[in-house]
Structure 1
Amino acid sequence: MPLKALRGPKVWLWRWRRNPLRRRADVVEAWVVLGTFLLTVLAGVLAGLVAAGSVEHGLARERALRRPTVARVVTRVPVKSAAREDRGSAGEKVWTEVRWTAADGSSHTGRIRVRSGSGPGTPVTVWTDPRGRLVDRPTAASEASLRATLVGLLVGVSAAAVPCVAGLAVRGRLERRRLRAWDTEWARLGPQWGRMV
């Protein structure tokens, strides 16, 4: 509380007002702080929006290109032992070979995970690209939106950190320079105070 009493009331924008005590360093620091704030906000928002839009566009293109295809199990899938099923592994999936026909009529085979106990000819759904190759299931629109938002936030915060850190470094340098100037002035004027008393 005593320190606040010594500081006096807070005056907004005092560095831009005409004042006989205002120094050039105060004006420079005010512009550095304002510029840093504006660059931080602008860089963060723009980078975040661009990154989110890019991720959203890429995932939408992925959804448009990937198609579900019906494949058939080629070999018999072994049934898991009863001991393993007792431990809650009913419906466990195992790797097996499947065959499907691409949109261009070519036949393809690949390995995917299916339920244990599936016999030859059992239909399963696989996702393929335009060439008929196996791919992962595309990201749902809601998942894509969440992923784009998170990536946008991460990129935005990272991009905003650059001008923020640079501005803090410049302001710290100005502060050190101001303190050196005060030390110089004090060394010059301090001895004169002793003579006045």
Structure 2
Amino acid sequence: MKRPRSTRVRGWRWRRNPLRRRSDVVDAWLLLAAWTVALVSGLVVGLLTADAVGHMTPRPAPSRPAATALVDPESAQSPSPRGAGDAPQPRHPATGQSPGGRAVAALMAAAATGGLVWAGTRAVRSRIDERRMEQWAAAWERFDAHRGPRTG
């Protein structure tokens, strides 16, 4: 036996429909606003992160004429006070922060913004759903009252 194919109607919340309620329209606008805020804030944070990392990465030095270096045999024998892995991190001249710190802060801001948008949208949608269920219960009560008393 073949299953009936379900038809999905896109944009039903925006069309005129006798079954559409005000809560459906509010829900649709809320979702549109949440997606817009999420996309725009993601774009802004991404651009800020790219700009911060771009300012922090070391720039190649301008071309200089070749120089000759001589090694002093006595200084080559003495141990270096700093190991090869102890190279200093490049710092931004104005802020003194390393490039990773500015990028991590921007990513954390993006996560916080996304979390706030999600939590706010979820809270408002749950209240809309509660209101919708109250409206359905009231509609069923009116329908039952119109039909008459129940039997058994």
TM over 0.5: yes
Higher strand fraction (1 or 2): 1
- Give the Cα separation in 1 of the matches to 2:15 and 2:39: 25
Q: How many residues align?
A: 128
Question: For 1:186 and 1:159, how far apart are their aligned partners in 2?
Answer: 40
Mark the CA change 1:44 to 1:155 in structure 2 (over 3 Å): closer, same or farther: same
Contact conserved, 2:31 with 2:121, CA < 8 A, in 1?
yes
CA contact (8 A) 1:25 1:178 kept: yes
Q: Match for 1:55 among 18, 33, 53? A: 53
Q: Kindly report the root-mean-square deviation, in angstroms, between the aligned alpha carbons of the 2 structures.
A: 4.0
Of residues 11, 18, 34, the one that matches 1:20 is 18
Quote the Cα distance in structure 2 between the aligned partners of 1:54 and 1:137: 16
Looking at structure 2, the residues matched to 12 and 164 of structure 1 have their Cα atoms a distance apart, in angstroms, of: 23
Q: Determine helix, strand or coil for the equivalent of 2:82.
A: strand
Residues 1:45 and 1:156: Cα distance change in structure 2 (over 3 Å) = farther
Structure 1 residues 17-58: Cα deviation after superposition (integer angstroms, max 9, x where no partner): 111221111111110111111111111121122122112212
Q: Which has the higher contact order (CA 8 A, sep 6+)?
A: 2
Q: Tell me which structure has the larger Cα radius of gyration.
A: 1
The residue aligned with 2:139 is: 185
CA contact (8 A) 2:13 2:24 kept: yes
**TM-score between the two structures when normalised by the length of structure 2:** 0.61
**Structure 2: runs of 5+ lacking an equivalent:** 62-70, 92-97
Closer, same or farther: CA 186–58 of 1 in aligned 2, 3 Å: same
Gaps of 5+ in 1: 65-69, 78-95, 97-110, 115-125, 127-134
Contact residue 13 and residue 28 of structure 2 kept, 8 A:
yes
Once the two structures are superposed, residues 67-125 of structure 1 have per-residue CA deviations (whole angstroms, 9 ceiling, x without a partner) of xxx9x959944xxxxxxxxxxxxxxxxxx5xxxxxxxxxxxxxx4126xxxxxxxxxxx
Percent of aligned pairs sharing the same letter: 31
- C-alpha distance in 1 between matches for 2:143 and 2:43: 49
